[in-house]
Chain A
Amino acid sequence: MSDSGYDRRDRNPADTELKFFGAITASVTHELNNVISIINQVGGLLEDLSYGVSQGQEIKPEQMQKITDRISHQTERGIGIIKRLNTFAHTVDEPVAEFDICALMENLVALSERLATLAGVRLTVQLGDEPVLLTGNRLKIQQVVFLALKSLLKIAAKDARLEISVHREEKGASINLDLAMSEMGVTPEVTLLKTIVGQIEAEMEFAAKPDKTIIKIILPHRAGFADNTASG
């Protein structure tokens, strides 16, 4: 088993999709658990202060304001995480759908931010102003980009920057994952990545330069159909 949770021998499309779904869910629920833990502690702090008041201590209004601000901030953070996870979960509703690849990537990058932070990598996203519409299997396309992202995180130097950008192309769209400050190396995920890129009839370019590593995924207007991936 590799660090990504994917087994090198695992080439069954349904299994790899499930593992991708599991990887995203595990990461996001970990972040949600942190949000709940913070609210729990800040609530506990409020209890401590209430107890102090019952013992004759004074609470300054700014102390109370600070606590309510912290609870509000974490509540908003939690709502944002749940919305992103919900958007992600609904991408499996239809095996084939028309979608905006920019919106899909924006959500995926947001869901992957914690993984990048844990790897010591700053993740940024560059999207065009206009939607870029494609038709296909959104889950499969997200899986391809996620695998590419994870393979780059594994070879990233500390404090590296990874930029994900989406570009309109004549044949559809391209997604560039551009890692500055990488260490040279090809990870097992690139092998699996190539397999899945082939399954969705997309193309992939991989360039390892002395100071950067780039993975470019070129998606046709119609990409990632379920029937392309049925054989395993």
Chain B
Amino acid sequence: MSDFKVLFVDDEEELVSALIERLQYRDIDAAYELNGASAIERMRREKYDIVVLDLKLPGISGAETLRVVKQEHPDIPVILITGHLPSGEPDEIPRGAADYLIKPINIDVLIKKIVQALDRK
């Protein structure tokens, strides 16, 4: 298994479970939560090295989840996922994120961005 742990936060369980299976197939240690509140709670109990977070979440939004995660774990990088950027400009990505990805996600690009974000820590 990898020497880092990834936490995914996305309310589309079919999507995130398939992504986790693919990462585990590549020996990457990954888990998921379906909403921001449960992700914040989980991160208080377990240590993760990086978070991959969907911006559109039920209840607490992705932007608010990002704010709380960065407040409680300032050293943990967060990569944001979004369906699209309305103006196509990365400026729309909330501050504090290490990087972003647009769905559909390419698994190789995802892994590359995870590794890059961890290297920048």
Contacts and interface: CB of A to CB of B under 8 A. Distances in A.
B109 to A, nearest CB: 12
Contacts of A98: none
Interface in A89-123: 117-120
A68 interface: no
Contacts of B57: 118
Nearest to B54: A34
B22 A37 contact: no
Interface residues of B, number: 19
Interface string A115-141: 001111000000000000000000000
Q: Which among A40, A44, A74 has the highest number of chain B CB atoms within 10 Å?
A: A44
A184 to B, nearest CB: 20
A48 B25 contact: yes
B25 to A, nearest CB: 5
Contacts of B15: 34, 37-38, 41
A118 B104 CA distance: 20
Interface residues of A, number: 21
15 contacts: A30-B56, A33-B83, A34-B15, A34-B103, A37-B105, A38-B15, A41-B22, A41-B104, A41-B105, A42-B18, A44-B22, A44-B107, A45-B18, A70-B14, A118-B56
Interface of B: 11-12, 14-15, 18-19, 21-22, 25, 56-59, 83-84, 103-105, 107
